[in-house]
Every structure is written in C-alpha cells, then in structure tokens.
C-alpha cells in the first residue's frame, strides 16, 4: 500500500489515480486526440473508437455481471453499463456504412481476449479495467463538445456514450469512489487491481495509435463492426452488400417477434453478423453453400432458433441483395436454393400441409391476442420437431422450455405448445412406421 507525501496511507482510489497518471497522460497525447482537438479527425477514426470501446465494454461488462466474486459484486452496479449507449451511437452512424480500420480491430480483439482470460483467473482485476472506463466519464465532458464540433453532431446523436450520466457525473463518481474505498483488500489484491488499470491504459493507447493515423489500404469491412462478439469471420467487401445484409437481418428480426423477446438486442447483432457471412457464401458453388447453411442451421436450431428462421432469413437476404445489385441476381439465387434445401429437409418428416394444419390449430387454441403477439410461433415449434428428427439433438427441449415458462405465458398458451409438439412428434412417428 502506497503512502502519501506525509506518510499517510493512500486510499485505493488515490493509489489508482497516482499509479495511472502517466499512462493516462500518454494516452491523451496520442495523435488521435491531437487530431480531434485540431478538428482533423476522420469519421472512420471516431466510429472505429466507438466500435473498439463497444467490444471492450462488452467483454468487461459481461465478465463483471457474470462473476460471483463478492468484491466485484459489491462495486459493479447495472447502471454503470455503457454498452447500450455505445450501440445506440453506432446505430446512428449505420446509414453511412463506415469501414473498419483493420489494425484497430486486431488490437482491440487481442486486448479483449487478454481481459477475458484474465477475468477468469483473477476476477478482482476487472475492477482495475472498470476504474479506467468509469473514470473516462469525467473526461467525456471535455471530449464531447470536441467530437460534436468535429462531426457536426447535435443533441445526443452519436454522443450518447460521452454523456452517459448526464448531469449526474459527479454524483455517480463520488458514489463509485465511496464503494471502492470501502473495500477491504490485501496488499496483493490492491497491487493486482492497480496493475490491471495501468496495463489497460497501455492497451488502450495501442488501440488509439491504430485509429489515427491509418493507411488508406487499412480501411475494410469486418464483422466486428456489426457484432463485436462475432469473432473474425468474413464479410462482403462491397458496402452495398453489407447494407443489404443488415437490412435483411432486421426484416427477419421483425418477422419473428420471438427473436426479440427471447434474445434481445444481442440476438439482433448475431442475426446481422450471420447475415453478412451468409452473403459471402455466394462466391462458392451450390453444394458448398448448402453444406455451410446446413451446418449453421444445426447450430442455430440447437440454440432455440429452428431452421424455419434461417430459411426465411435466406429468402429475405436474396431479395435485399438482388435489389441492391441486380446484375448479380443469378449469383444470389444460390441462397434460395439453400433455403429450399432446409425446407425440403423438414418436409421429409412433416409435410407442408400437415405443418400448416398444426399451426392453424395452435393459433386457434392460443387466441388472436397471443397469435398476433407471437406470429409464426406454431410453425417454429413444428420446425423444431422436424429439426430434431433430422439430427439437431435438444432443439425441441430448448424452445419448449422457453415457450412454456409460466412467468411469461398463460396456461392456455402452455397447453397449446405442449399439444402441438406432441402432435408433430406423433405425425413423425406414424410416418416412420
């Protein structure tokens, strides 16, 4: 534990501030912030910053929320989450289809993976990372008008993250300081927390050095700009295809309200990242595409998303891509073939007219209010039964558990879910005999 000028012991927050002073200064002196002050920062750099912070906040906040470590739990509060604000800012810039800076993405993903592994072994170190991010709310008051001026932003548009606590910044910081200083830590635990904070500042500096300046050839489209949790899989290089893929995912999202109700905003991000990946498959032959789509269908189905959802997604994706780039329509038609293969696989076990009859009976049983609230729910349940028969083990149990939750659905709905599953399974059993 460090001591102050006259030998008094420093509080935890004082020790953190003293230890991170120079790393903080070095971060502020990067060309990124110099260009910002001179109103010369490119939009790619600002949006790249939002994407990088979205990835890092996502990893850190998920780890903070999932740990059972008592020290961490006593500090972390749900109102400290900044990821939703970053996502809101990124949605504002979506229409501009801003490319990524590939070196920045790599530096960010490397840092995120390091933090993730570190949090599993020493969860208290997460509080060192959180200290850096929480402290940035103070500096944001200075940066916000600079970004607003540089990119002609008004109100909250594109600036939500930089105004996370509004007029409550000082109050929230004082409460955070109080919680941190009340911790009873061993010297080793304090040292690890301080080390994590200093290390994180250094990692952020590396990220910001890649954000500006950057080479023109560094600009590209990567999946992390769509979904920071999606890893490193390919996306189209044509911005029109990226935009069309995102639109298709959102249309599919709206087609199935079940999607939003169960998976929330995170589900939308994965629908988008899956969509841009599906668009890249068009460069391959039909059999390769079908093989990849069957694989994705099995993965999604066992996670509660029956292949009917992927089939509809592919059909919508074809329409959006063909509309955006008509000259490649024949190439995009391969997606329709893959969608037809998914339908054909289900029809081996339950034919279309049988599925429709079961779905109609389900809708009558749950009544108009619930059938309108969750359209296509019956069809999803029938699809789950067929998917499981085709080899996607656990599909029925996964969706049944969610759709028979009495805290979410009335008794009539739960009975109807159980009945349609039973009837679909009996149909398949009779067909097999």
The full DSSP string for 90-145 is HHHHGGG-PPEEHHHHHHHHHHHHHHHHHHHH-GGGHHHHHHHHHHHHHHHHHHHH
Per DSSP, the chain holds a count of helices (H) and strands (E) of 18, 2
Side-chain-facing half-sphere of 196: CA atoms under 13 Å:
26
| pLDDT level of residue 4 (50, 70, 90 thresholds) | low
| pLDDT level of residue 8 (50, 70, 90 thresholds) | low
Mean pLDDT of the 318-323 span: 97
Inform me whether the pLDDT recorded for 430 exceeds 90: no
Tens of pLDDT, residues 137-152: 999 999 999 999 999 9
Neighbour-count burial for 224-258, b at 16+ CB within 10 Å, e otherwise: bbbbbbbeeeebbeeeebbbbbbbbbbbbbeebeb
Q: Which two tokens stand for residue 296?
A: 């994705």
Vertex 202 angle, CA 216 and 130, to 5°: 110
Question: pTM for this one?
Answer: 0.72
Mean pLDDT of the 108-130 span: 93
What is the per-residue pLDDT for 234?
A: 74
- Cα separations in angstroms, 396 against 142, 342, 359, 401: 53, 17, 16, 8
Residues ≥6 apart with Cβ < 8 Å to 182: 74
What is the per-residue pLDDT for 334?
A: 97
The full DSSP string for 267-311 is HHHHHHHHHHHHHHGGGS-HHHHHHHHHHHHHHHHHTT--HHHHH
Q: Hey, what CATH topology would domain 12-218 get?
A: Heme Oxygenase; Chain A (1.20.910)
What is the per-residue pLDDT for 6?
A: 47
What CA–CA distance (Å, rounded) separates 401 from 357?
23
Mean pLDDT of the 62-79 span: 94
Mean pLDDT of the 341-357 span: 95
Tens of pLDDT, residues 181-217: 999 999 999 999 999 999 999 999 999 999 999 999 9
Q: What is the DSSP letter of 11?
A: P
What is the per-residue pLDDT for 306?
A: 97
Tens of pLDDT, residues 232-277: 677 888 889 999 999 999 999 999 999 999 999 889 989 999 999 9
Domain residue limits, the chain: 12-218, 239-347, 352-432
> Among 43, 242, 247, 258, which residue's Cα sits nearest to residue 147?
43
What CA–CA distance (Å, rounded) separates 200 from 168?
25
Inform me whether the pLDDT recorded for 7 exceeds 70: no
Tens of pLDDT, residues 46-65: 999 999 999 999 999 999 99
Contact 69, 123 (CB under 8 A): yes
Inform me whether the pLDDT recorded for 226 exceeds 80: no
The region, left, alpha or beta by phi > 0 then psi within -120 to 50, assigned to residue 8 is beta
What CA–CA distance (Å, rounded) separates 190 from 51?
30
Q: Which two tokens stand for residue 292?
A: 């990849």
């Amino acid at each position: 534990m460090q001591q102050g000028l006259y030998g008094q012991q420093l509080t935890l927050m004082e020790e953190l501030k003293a230890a991170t002073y120079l790393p903080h200064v070095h971060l502020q002196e990067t060309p990124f912030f110099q260009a910002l002050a001179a109103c010369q920062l490119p939009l790619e750099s600002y949006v790249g910053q939002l994407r990088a912070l979205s990835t890092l906040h996502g990893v850190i906040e998920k780890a903070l929320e999932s740990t059972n470590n008592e020290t961490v739990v006593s500090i972390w509060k749900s109102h400290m989450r900044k990821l939703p604000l970053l996502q809101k800012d990124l949605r504002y810039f979506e229409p501009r289809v801003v490319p990524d800076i590939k070196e920045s993405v790599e530096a960010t993903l490397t840092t995120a993976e390091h933090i993730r592994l570190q949090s599993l072994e020493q969860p208290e170190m997460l509080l060192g990372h959180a200290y850096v991010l929480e402290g940035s709310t103070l500096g944001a008051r200075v940066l916000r008008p600079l970004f607003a001026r540089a990119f002609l932003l008004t109100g909250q548009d594109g600036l939500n993250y930089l105004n996370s606590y509004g007029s409550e910044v000082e109050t929230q910081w004082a409460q955070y300081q109080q919680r941190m200083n009340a911790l009873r830590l061993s010297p080793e635990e304090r040292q690890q927390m301080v080390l994590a904070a200093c290390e994180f500042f250094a990692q952020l500096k590396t990220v910001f050095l890649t954000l500006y300046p950057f080479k023109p050839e560094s600009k590209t489209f990567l999946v992390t700009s769509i979904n920071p949790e999606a890893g490193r899989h390919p996306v189209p290089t044509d911005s029109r295809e990226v935009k069309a893929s995102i639109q298709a995912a959102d249309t599919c999202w709206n087609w199935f309200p079940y999607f939003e109700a169960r998976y929330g905003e995170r589900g939308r991000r994965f629908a988008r990242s899956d969509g841009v990946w599906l668009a890249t498959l068009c460069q391959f032959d039909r059999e390769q595409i079908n093989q990849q789509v069957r694989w994705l269908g099995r993965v999604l189905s066992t996670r509660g998303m029956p292949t009917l959802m992927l089939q509809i997604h592919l059909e919508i994706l074809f329409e959006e891509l063909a509309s955006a780039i008509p000259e490649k329509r024949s190439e995009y038609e391969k997606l329709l073939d893959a969608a037809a293969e998914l339908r054909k696989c289900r029809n081996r076990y339950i034919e279309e007219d049988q599925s429709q009859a079961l779905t109609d009976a389900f809708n009558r049983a749950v009544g108009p209010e619930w059938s309108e609230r969750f359209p296509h729910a019956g069809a999803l349940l029938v699809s789950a039964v067929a998917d499981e028969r085709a080899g996607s083990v656990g599909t029925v149990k996964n969706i049944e558990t969610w759709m028979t939750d009495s805290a979410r659905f009335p008794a009539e709905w739960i009975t109807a879910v159980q009945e349609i599953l039973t009837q679909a399974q009996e149909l398949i059993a009779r067909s097999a005999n």
